[in-house]
């Protein structure tokens, strides 16, 4: 199955060179010049790997890596750092921030491809299914599709992330604060009321197929998804 790689690099010539090499190797590519664009790309499709430059406008790649690892949706997405900083201390900082590997500029496309393939082999075992299934409600994490009793269900990216989180943790109750941290991320500045709005939208999307009842309100605590 074709893997998707998100390239986060503010220097356009480097980004285009990397995209050309990875495209020839058969990867599907998403591109971003900064963190804002990277989040927009992730909201539309979850990549299989993030190729992340250390120095980015607005915030460092290290900080972005930490955010990705704190977010429930992206915490398992492997990260390969690209940087001109080759000192051991810098490499350790990148790995401690959550990077799975580290490529120092200048690098050859051949070396980069080898590193990417090695990381994907370690982090994407073939036995792991990308499809979550609860009582006939299926969510495909690779194709970003949801079906209920084999019929497609249309929903927005936030509702998709919310549903994916619930399906990974069935029958567990989460408070609004926990959902904000785990689905929106700890650095998202939104109110707890936002959770209620998106829960309503998620239920509305599931209602035609009768699966809205799986999303349950636990009075005074929060929400859970029933596995039955």
H helix runs in the chain, sequence order: 12-24, 35-44, 61-70, 88-96, 109-123, 157-168, 176-179, 193-206
Total domains present in the chain: 2
Q: Are residues 105 and 22 part of one domain?
A: yes
Q: How many CB atoms neighbour CB 59 within 10 A?
A: 13
Q: Are residues 181 and 80 part of one domain?
A: no
The answer to whether 41 and 32 are in contact (CB under 8 A) is yes
pLDDT in tens, 141-170: 888 899 998 999 999 999 999 999 899 888
Q: Are residues 103 and 24 part of one domain?
A: yes
Residue ending a domain, among 76, 96, 123, is 123
Q: Are residues 150 and 100 part of one domain?
A: no
User: What is the pLDDT confidence band of residue 1, given thresholds at 50, 70 and 90?
Assistant: low
Q: Are residues 104 and 19 part of one domain?
A: yes
Q: Are residues 84 and 164 part of one domain?
A: no
Q: Are residues 135 and 108 part of one domain?
A: no
Is it the case that residue 182 has pLDDT exceeding 80? Answer: no
Taking the whole predicted model, whether its pTM rises above 0.75 is answered as: no
Q: Are residues 160 and 218 part of one domain?
A: yes
Q: Are residues 106 and 162 part of one domain?
A: no
What does the longest C-alpha to C-alpha distance in the chain come to? 57
Chain centroid offset of residue 25 CA: 22
Q: Are residues 148 and 101 part of one domain?
A: no
CATH number, domain with residue 48: 3.40.50.2300
Q: Are residues 11 and 67 part of one domain?
A: yes
Residue ending a domain, among 70, 97, 123, is 123
Residue ending a domain, among 123, 144, 163, is 123
Instruction: Give me the domain span that covers residue 141.
Output: 131-225
pLDDT in tens, 9-51: 999 999 999 999 999 999 999 999 999 999 889 888 889 999 9
- Reported as type and span, the H/E element at residue 5 is strand 4-8
CATH number, domain with residue 201: 1.10.10.10
Task: Of 73, 125, 63, give the one whose Cα is nearest residue 98.
Answer: 63
Q: Are residues 113 and 68 part of one domain?
A: yes
Task: Of 16, 26, 4, 22, give the one whose Cα is nearest residue 109.
Answer: 22
């Amino acid at each position: 199955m074709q893997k998707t790689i998100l390239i986060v690099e503010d220097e356009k010539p480097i980004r285009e060179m990397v995209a050309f090499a990875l495209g020839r190797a058969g990867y599907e590519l998403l591109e971003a010049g900064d963190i804002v664009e990277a989040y927009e790309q992730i909201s539309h499709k979850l990549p299989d790997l993030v190729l992340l430059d250390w120095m980015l406008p607005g915030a460092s790649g290290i900080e972005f890596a930490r955010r990705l690892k704190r977010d429930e949706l992206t915490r398992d997405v492997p990260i390969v750092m690209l940087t001109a900083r080759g000192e051991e201390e810098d490499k350790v900082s990148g790995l401690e921030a959550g990077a799975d590997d580290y490529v120092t500029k200048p690098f050859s496309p051949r070396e980069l491809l080898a590193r990417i393939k090695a990381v994907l082999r370690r982090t994407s075992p073939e036995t792991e299914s990308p499809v979550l299934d609860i009582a006939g409600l299926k969510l495909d994490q690779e194709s970003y599709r949801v079906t209920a009793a084999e019929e497609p269900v249309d929903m927005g990216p936030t509702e998709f992330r919310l549903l994916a989180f619930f399906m990974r943790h069935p029958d567990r109750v989460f408070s609004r604060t926990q959902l904000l941290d785990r689905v929106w991320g700890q650095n998202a500045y939104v109110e707890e009321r936002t959770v209620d709005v998106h829960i309503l939208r998620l239920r509305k999307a599931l209602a035609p197929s009768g699966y809205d009842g799986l999303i349950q309100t636990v009075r005074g605590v929060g929400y859970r998804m029933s596995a039955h």
